[in-house]
Amino acid sequence: MAEPLKVVVTGAAGQIAYSLLYSVAKGDVFGYDQSLELNLLDITPMMEVLNGVVMELQDCAIPLVKKITATDDPNVAFKDVNAAFMVGAMPRKDGMERKDLLKANVKIFKAQGQAMDKVAKKTVRVVVVGNPANTNACILSRYAPSIPKENFTCLTRLDQNRAQAQIAARLGVTTDKVTNVIIWGNHSSTQFPDVAHAKVELNGQVVPVPEAVKDDNYLKNDFIKTVQQRGAAVIKARKLSSAMSAAKAACDHMHDWFVGTKGSNWVSMGVISDGSYGIKEGLMYSYPVQIKDKKWSIVQGLSINEFAREKLDATAAELDEELEAAVAECTD
């Protein structure tokens, strides 16, 4: 069995982590022959709950898990880690101004970034799940300057999975038959779910999704709105935010990063923009990426029509404004 991988999960006493930890522990993410050491981080008032989570993990009796460390100290949590699921963040509460949310999250991700910079492996792969995920990932990277910027990503796979599921249901196929859906931009209601380049396998034939759906009005309106507002719809129905689906998406994201994408398929990840598709450099922006040898690269050369251009720019403008507001809260 391979040497244990060290994996940290923050916000480990919370709902998303509760679903995430079992999948990670049993091998769904890093492989069924890859042993693990799990570091679980949460705030001091949550330590009793976190100890309960540790008990449950122990009671799962999973052979891959060699060690579990529960802590409220980022310097302990990030020590020598290979992979980081950054789930913990300050959620927006009723009456909270956006700037207050950004300020609270800057404080959290500054402290965690500094600890990561000091004690994590420089090869650590990081996915930020806690919202506002794109901007939180930028702040984390800012305070961990010794770790390459391309090692910081944020989760938009949940949006991709949602979009894929909507198309699959519309066409009466299973989700694995739908490929190359793209989420552009911010993990927010301005994101752009794009199926212009997506494909679907129907009756043994692979065809473009727009050709299969045959309803441009649906693809430009209801489909986009459904995906954009799916998180709010879950909260309305469940009275709690998405947890199981967010955990599954975080696992998908990290699995593909470590294992790679297949053939000409791509996945959506929030990554640091290099200026591709006219998006400002330095923004944490969701792009279609292909992954090989644990390195992602943005898929180039996709045609962007006028409708898509407008959507790409709108979500970029929101991200730019959000990052500027967050950076204004940084006191280096």
Among all residues, which ones are annotated catalytic? 187
| Lookup: tokens for 295 | 């390195």
Q: Is 129 annotated as a binding residue?
A: yes
Spatial distance between the Cα atoms of 287 and 300, rounded to a whole number of angstroms? 10
Are 247 and 16 within 8 A, CB to CB?
yes
Quote the longest CA-to-CA distance of the chain: 58
Q: Say whether 162 counts as a known binding-site residue.
A: yes
Tell me: is residue 130 an annotated ligand-binding position: yes
Cα 191 to the center of its chain, rounded Å: 14
Tell me which residue of 27, 38, 30, 23 sits closest to 68, measured CA to CA: 38
Annotated binding-site residue? 92: yes
Which one-letter amino acid corresponds to residue 191? Q
Which one, of 89, 110, 101, 103, lies nearest residue 41 by Cα?
89
**How distant is the alpha carbon of residue 117 from its chain centre?**
21
Secondary structure, 3-state, 158-215: HHHHHHHHHHHHHHCCCHHHEECCEEEECCCCCCEEECCCCEEEECCEEEEHHHHHCC
The H-assigned helical ranges of the chain are 15-25, 47-59, 74-77, 98-119, 133-142, 157-171, 209-213, 216-220, 222-228, 230-238, 244-259, 306-328
Strand order in the sheet with 205-208: 178-179, 199-202, 205-208
Question: What's the CA gap between 130 and 136, in Å, rounded?
Answer: 8
Which one, of 189, 183, 178, 175, lies nearest residue 158 by Cα? 183
Binding-site members are 42, 92, 98, 105, 129-131, 162
Binding-site members for NAD(+) are 42, 105, 129-131
